[in-house]
Amino acid sequence: MGAPVSGGRSGTGHHLAPDINALPYVDRRFLAHDPYPAEDGRTEANMVGARGCPYDCSFCGAAVSANPDITIRVRKPDNILGEMHELRDCHGVTAFRFVDDLFLGARRVIETMMKAFTVEKVSDWAVWDATGRINVLHRANDATLDRLADNGLREVALGIESGNPRVLRYIDKRITPAMIRTVIRRLSERGIGVKGYFILGFPSESADELDDTVSLVRELWHLTDRLPGRFRASVFEFRPYPGTPEWSRLVATGRYTAEQLLAYGAVDLTGDGLDDAMRGRDEFNFSVGIQFGGVPVDDVRRHLVELSREQHDRRVVA
């Protein structure tokens, strides 16, 4: 906690693509379903505003230690706005989803982008979603959050992962449950929705610690029920990825081979039948089937299904 973060390793820049601002815009002819019609009637498109992540979350394939030759590269505002204009003028896009690791992951980037969005009056013709970091948004003052809302920010995707303080420290998330509650309340008060990502079944996680995560998900639902912005949860089973800090810890125990940790298999969470609550999740339901912590795999999946169905039911009711 509190250690400086950076990306990349000196002398490896030749492995990277050319200057990110010199790359052509994505040729959407090669994307069969992007842009696409969104549920609210808008035409929506995915975009990437930055590449790389400076953090080292133990479970994440984007962890800086797993990608030592990757530096953090952020597109200039005029480059991003140019692609947004092209998508609007050529495809009628008025909703944008920034899917890079951390579009709202640094105060400097937030300030620079929001200044450009304000000048461009983006909120007059578009809404947008983005990824962010709890710790960065926790340090943001009210004026910064107001500026995000005023510029059309519709929803922020946040990697929360756990509701237990020890587990959050173990995975090097650099956040606390108190920070999580505060950030989601402050965003929701401004009409900004939050999509929280959670992982169940971390190595060393006890049943009580997993219960803390389940309880936090439900608490955040209830917290935002009375606020303009809503919270939604997306929950996953832990799985190890090569090169991550968690992979190294697991291998170092001597209890697992690389072959075991790579034995990913599909998981049917629907009970061999159709289940609208699981629709669209099939590609994410894979596992190595190993109990890494104190919670049996079947119990992890039971909680996952329960939370997914509760989230689906809340969406239907809303």
Dist. CA 291–CA 52, nearest whole Å: 31
| CA–CA gap between residue 285 and residue 282 (Å, rounded) | 5
Domain of 248 in residue numbering reads as: 13-258
Euclidean distance between CA atoms 194 and 217, whole angstroms: 12
The answer to whether the beta carbons of residues 196 and 160 sit under 8 Å apart is yes
The pLDDT of residue 3 is 44
pLDDT, tens only, 89-127: 999 999 999 998 888 888 999 999 999 999 999 999 999
Q: Would the pLDDT of 128 be above 50?
A: yes
DSSP annotation of 278: G
How confident is the model at residue 69, as a pLDDT?
77
How far, in Å, CA of 224 to CA of 155, rounded?
13
Q: Considering the domain boundaries, does residue 305 fall inside one?
A: no
Q: How many domains does the chain have?
A: 1
CATH of the domain at 197: 3.20.20.70
Task: Please indicate, yes or no, if residue 7 is contained in any of the structural domains.
Answer: no
| DSSP β-ladder status, 50-51 and 265-266 | unpaired
Q: How far apart are CA 212 and CA 168, in angstroms?
A: 11
> Is 299 a domain residue?
no
pLDDT, tens digit, 9 for 90 and up, residues 14-36: 556 678 899 899 999 999 899 99
Residue 37 within a domain:
yes
Find all residues with CB under 8 Å of 302, minimum gap 6, and list them: none
What is the pLDDT averaged over residues 218-244? 95
How large is the average pLDDT for residues 133-152? 97
Query: Which amino acid, residue 308?
Result: S
First to last CA, the chain: 38
pLDDT over threshold 90, residue 136:
yes
226 vs 285, which has greater pLDDT?
Answer: 226
- With 0-12 / 13-18 / 19 or more C-beta atoms within 10 angstroms meaning exposed / middle / buried, residue 59 is buried
Using the predicted structure, report yes or no on whether residue 316 has a pLDDT greater than 90: no
**Which of helix, strand or coil describes residue 174?**
coil
Inside any domain, residue 5? no
The answer to whether residue 284 is domain-embedded is no
Mean pLDDT of 276-286: 67
Averaged pLDDT for residues 161-185 = 98
Residue 160 has pLDDT above 70, yes or no: yes
pLDDT at 5 over 60: no
Distance in angstroms (rounded) separating the CA atoms of residues 238 and 151: 35
Nearest-angstrom CA–CA distance, 137 and 156? 10
Average pLDDT, the chain: 90
Helices (H), 173-284: 177-189, 207-225, 245-252, 258-261
Residue 257, pLDDT > 70, answer: yes
Tell me whether residue 304 is in a domain: no
Give me the helix-helix angle, 107-120 and 142-150, nearest 10°. 40
Contacts of residue 268, defined as CB under 8 A and 6 or more positions apart, other chains included, come to: 285
Does residue 2 register a pLDDT over 50?
no
